[in-house]
Homo-oligomer: A and B are copies of this chain.
Amino acid sequence: MTHLIAIGGSDAGISAALRARELDPTVDVTVVVADRYPNYSICGIPYYFSGEVQPWQSLAHRTAADLEATGMNLRLDTWATGIDVAGQRLEVRGPDGIIEQLGYDELVVGTGALPSHAGITGLDQLTADDGVHVIHSMGDTFALDTRLDERDPKTAVIVGAGYVGLEMAEAFTVRGIKVTQLQRGPEVLSTLDPELGAIVHAELDTHDVEVITRTTVTGIEKTSDGLVVRGVREDGRFARLADLVLVVVGVRPNTELLEHAGATLGAGGAVVVDEHMRTGLPHVYSAGDGTVTHHRLLGPTYLPLGTTAHKQGRVAGENALGGNARFAGSVGTQVVKVFDIVAARTGLRDHDAAAAGYQPLTVGATADDHKRYYPGSHPISFQITGDNRDGRLLGAQLVGTLGTEVAKRVDTFATALYAGLTIEQISELDLSYTPPLGSPWDAVQAATQAWSAATRS
């Protein structure tokens, strides 16, 4: 009987284990989980803090009992400390501190990522006990929860205005905490063009989030008055006092285990794998946020996303049983809700595309989500990027009001990118129309037609 071990209780590890049990109910599957919270939706944590999701247990995609009902074994509070590749043994330290060697036939490593510190001094000493938080695990969640309950902070500085930073700005605001959001670049949500990021910025303004851009945080200090966040701006130094600081400036791959085992590191310092999620080490697969991502337009890159981790884990779980699945690649599709605005992107932006050797043209457009005569229509703002040489779609960005189906309109572009369609071909698509929900030429096609018109002029 094959023994598969998956390391990691988040998307990649659990997906691998589920896939293996689904394909072969005789396979022996063990999942090694560093904490007590396997299969939690980390993406859902901001909604716990906003109060929209209660209790925290409902954040579990599946309970431990659900997982065990599939026939997998969970080793909770257990750290994977070393891989003996030749001997096919995994060394783990259990909850009681005892070191054990677990034999495996196949190993899937899904150790994920760690919060980045972005060179900010103070972060190596200051912790949740000081009011300085990250938000990456259920442990971080409980620590922040305790802090909010016990100290009732009135002001928070959020360092970073990416997806999680924006969601947490909303959550804190809903709770009555006055938020100052610091962003290094010229506009929030730097994964979108500033024209579209500005719409999100305006929504933050409306909800009294203080947004300060072009500010690089250099350090955090604890003083008797509270926490002081210091940084630099074009016009000089910056300092702000707050009761609580949340640092959400991205993640770095957690590769220590595989690096020591001899795996190769690549893009973004993540573990290199082939499209079958093989590390090159015999019987060892890697998947999820610690692993390079094959991007269909860029090749190997580092782009840690839950959707990708699910897919990579599933591929690894299938191949560990002798399958021949391959990860088809990401196109970098992302979406975020910020108060009543939804912002989405897929593919490449102009500068990414140019850097990768494409000859991009990016055109902005605005189109109503549905016929204006029907109540409740709202404009959607687009940025469409295509290759000037052959008209191939390279990327799309969309921002609209909640309810304008932006999240699933970006999927039309993501599907077109997967299939390698041109922008003209998107204008040919037979998309759905009814006046309350669309237009005879969908908003998506109003945008692609604007791109085509720009290439003619």
Whether the pair A375, B52 counts as a contact (CB closer than 8 A) is yes
Whether the pair A431, B411 counts as a contact (CB closer than 8 A) is yes
Q: Quick one: which of A326-376 are within 8 Å of B by CB?
A: 328-337, 342, 344, 346, 371, 373-375
Question: What is the CA–CA distance of A58 and B428 in the complex, to the nearest angstrom?
Answer: 27
| A-B pairs with beta carbons under 8 Å apart, 28 shown | A41-B371, A41-B435, A43-B440, A44-B371, A47-B373, A47-B435, A52-B374, A53-B374, A328-B425, A328-B428, A330-B430, A332-B430, A333-B430, A333-B431, A335-B437, A346-B432, A405-B407, A405-B408, A408-B412, A408-B438, A409-B411, A410-B432, A411-B432, A411-B444, A415-B416, A415-B429, A418-B428, A419-B421
Known: A412-B411, A435-B44. A430 touches B346 (CB 8 A): yes
Whether the pair A432, B334 counts as a contact (CB closer than 8 A) is yes
> Top 5 closest A-B pairs, CB basis?
A419-B419, A408-B408, A328-B428, A335-B432, A407-B437
Q: Quick one: which of A144-163 are within 8 Å of B by CB?
A: 163
Whether the pair A414, B429 counts as a contact (CB closer than 8 A) is yes
A348 to chain B, nearest CB (A): 13
Q: Please give, as numbers and ranges, the residues of chain B lying within 8 Å of A388 by CB-CB distance.
A: none
Q: Please give, as numbers and ranges, the residues of chain B lying within 8 Å of A444 by CB-CB distance.
A: 411
Question: What is the CA–CA distance of A331 and B408 in the complex, to the nearest angstrom?
Answer: 19
Please tell me if A11 contacts chain B, counting CB pairs below 8 Å.
Answer: yes
Whether the pair A435, B335 counts as a contact (CB closer than 8 A) is no
Q: Bin chain A's interface residue count.
A: 35 or more
Whether the pair A373, B58 counts as a contact (CB closer than 8 A) is yes
Closest to A52 in B: B375
Q: Please give, as numbers and ranges, the residues of chain B lying within 8 Å of A75 by CB-CB distance.
A: none
Interface contacts beyond A43-B433, A43-B435, A418-B430: sample of 13 additional A-B pairs, CB < 8 Å, sorted by A: A47-B373, A307-B433, A334-B432, A337-B436, A407-B434, A408-B437, A410-B432, A411-B429, A411-B442, A412-B412, A414-B432, A416-B419, A417-B430
